[in-house]
Amino acid sequence: MSNILQASLFTDFLYPFLLMFFIMYALLQKSKLLGDNQPQINAFVSLIVSLIFVSVVFPVIVVNNLILFMTVGVAVIFVGFILWGFINGGSTKLNDKVLKFLGVLVFIALVVAIFWATGAFPGLWDFIQRFYNWAFASGTQGFWTNFLIVVLVVAAVAAVLNVGKGATGGSS
C-alpha cells in the first residue's frame, strides 16, 4: 500500500527537483561563481538547471538510485559508529590507517554505486544476482548461521586478546 509521499508526482518530479535545486543553489552561493551576493541570480540559474534536470528521465532515475544507496549507506555508517562508540567507550577517534582504509572503501562503494545506478555492465549485475540466489538459496540458512557464529566468536576472541595485550602494557 502506498501513501501520498510515494505518488509519482513526488518521486518523479518534486523530490528530484528540490534536491537538485537546493544542491545547485548551495554550490552557486558557496562558490560565488555568478558573483558575490547574488542570491536571486543563483536562484534563477538553479531553477532553470533543476527544471532541465527533471525534464529528462534518465538523470532522475540515476539520482533516485544514488539517493537510495546513500540512505542505506548512512544508516550502515550510523550503526557502525554506534557500535564503535560502545567498543571505545564513546570515543570515535580513528587512527590514520583506519581513516585511509575507510576512504578507499567509500571510494570503491561510490564507484560501484554509480555503475549500479547508471545500469552500466548489466552482465556483471546479472552474475551477482545469480551468485546471490545460489549462495542464499533455500536450505543454506544453517550454513550461514554457523558461519556467522564462527566469525563472531573469532572476532570476540581477537578483541579480548587485543584488549588484554593493551592492558598489560606490552606485547605478549
How do residues 62-78 score in pLDDT, each as one tens digit? Answer: 888 888 888 888 888 88
Q: Where are the alpha helices (DSSP H) in the chain?
A: 8, 15-31, 39-55, 57-87, 96-118, 122-135, 141-168
Predicted pLDDT at 164: 62
Q: Is the pTM of this model over 0.75?
A: no
Q: Which set of grid coordinates corresponds to residue 150?
A: 564462527
- Of 57, 29, 56, which is closest to residue 42 (Cα–Cα)? 29
Of the candidates 45, 20, 19, the residue with the CA atom closest to the CA atom of residue 32 = 45
Q: State yes or no: pLDDT of 170 exceeds 60.
A: no
Tens of pLDDT, residue by residue over 114-149, are: 888 888 888 888 888 888 888 877 777 788 888 888
CA 128 to the chain's CA centroid? 19
Cα–Cα distance measured from residue 125 to residue 110, given in angstroms and rounded to the nearest whole number: 16
Q: What percent of the chain has pLDDT over 70?
A: 92
Residue 10 has pLDDT above 90, yes or no: no
Contacts of 29 (CB under 8 A, 6+ apart): 39, 42
